[in-house]
Structure 1
């Protein structure tokens, strides 16, 4: 019988310096109630804010004790005291902001929202611009800092489950589709499923092939391809990782809602399963994890923590960027790495469109003007 180490670190590693002056662009829910709450709890320094509407920016600043408010994001970017840029606006506008930000010598790091862009070309340009300017770029793929996912990653790395055989995510949730998405036909995989796509990469790496199917969500009136989706990643070692994303999540009128995210990983030597607490927001509901392993037969382990995905995970996404700036290293969730997640999103849509399994190499060759390893090819 082996010894099971139940020290499963779920808290992010913090930078030595926490007082980098952060300029925040956007004052909606994600910024006001997630980023800024998490930053204050972590001891970070949100120094200035701007928004599309000045009154909203001013209200967020007063609520979260931010000393400087700008009328435009252009004015904010021009403030030489700002060292870190935190962008929380619709992703189809991020490239415009980054193009101006990379011209400012005082900006050392940029945290972008996910998806990084609404298409691969714009995403590549964002990464190239930041790398060319020597600015650290990170992507707010915050599910990587959900506490159950951090613990699961440690369990996998320690070999408690042995070689993974099957991984599943089942989501029943009703998201709010932002107004800007109404002009796009790709919604669920690019804006919700990308969490699960990125977490499969975090846990298991890149797959060889992808199979995806989708149908429209009856609740969503604007034209779209993917409302309810299922996508499966095929790995070289035969691991299957699959997610069912149900944003219809019936019931109808008068019925009790049953919203949740469940996950499960089965390996040759053990099994882990749990839940993500996010569908209960704003109630603080920690995610859960339980696992069993052949190394300690007939025993279930159920670690506990007080943190929750929203808003606590947002400490981690900023912390990893600040550490990268501090140590002149690549962020854990760097822009270059995130291009791989976007490639898998594109593979899902290609699979849906062509009704077949798609090799990841097809997507890489589709954007042959770019390389995933170091910039644009000649």
Structure 2
């Protein structure tokens, strides 16, 4: 069976370095934040082309703190997409603000900038685009709209480490960027982890306080904060992995290129390759109207797949209070019915790729 993802393969490729880094961290006893986290933050700031990085315990916490640092709270509205992992929308809800959905562009799967302005009200305070699957959102018009209306832009880059839009790394384009280091991500910790990026020193200072109980000095709490600190062991692991992220990204892109070269001839809709955008393929999502049948077929032919995501957030029971119904965001709903994620990870062997392609040829 070709696995959908193989975390052990990556670990084994860097085992000696990881084991040494973790052992060193244990011996240092800097288990929460500490020097390894600070060293990783510095490396990740350089990688994302930002001035400040604040490591936190999850990508969801990164979103939550970015929203709070931007002053988002009860009575405010934040514009985002319904076709995303639920954490994007939950983080807005945590602040007391209301998520306002805008449909996606069906080509990129990211928020459609042409629909944003119509959703702005006097209560709108921020736009939260999602760089879904590793594909950057169309940031130039989003930023222009935000500047016209004095809105903060918070990039959800949880799936897009190293992705670029017009030569800029995601996470550096908006006012704040949010990343996840969940183990399966393009840059994955060995447990939970996340980070906020920014070029704004006041945002950085506020987030550092909020992640650590609202304090700059122990026991002096200036803000009502949270226990959202990144663990030292995750900083140590991520610091090692930073040496390899570009090589792993190019390996993902090479897998995607092999899929791209053969699947369209089979009548399979592959991810869009768009000008001035560097897709980093956290997910390689094809589209198929008979998705369930195809997923079963591929499983029976030794290929594991995933679905990201089967129900858009506006139709989730958890957010029923927003009052949306089927048909409100047709492009998001169509994508949710049709997307199917093929095996995609840097260590995916050519023979395994060929097995995926051969199974799809049999399907077609």
Length-normalised TM-score, structure 1:
0.33
- Bigger helix share: 2
What TM-score results when the alignment is normalised by the length of structure 2? 0.34
Tell me which protein shows more strand as a share of its residues. Answer: 1
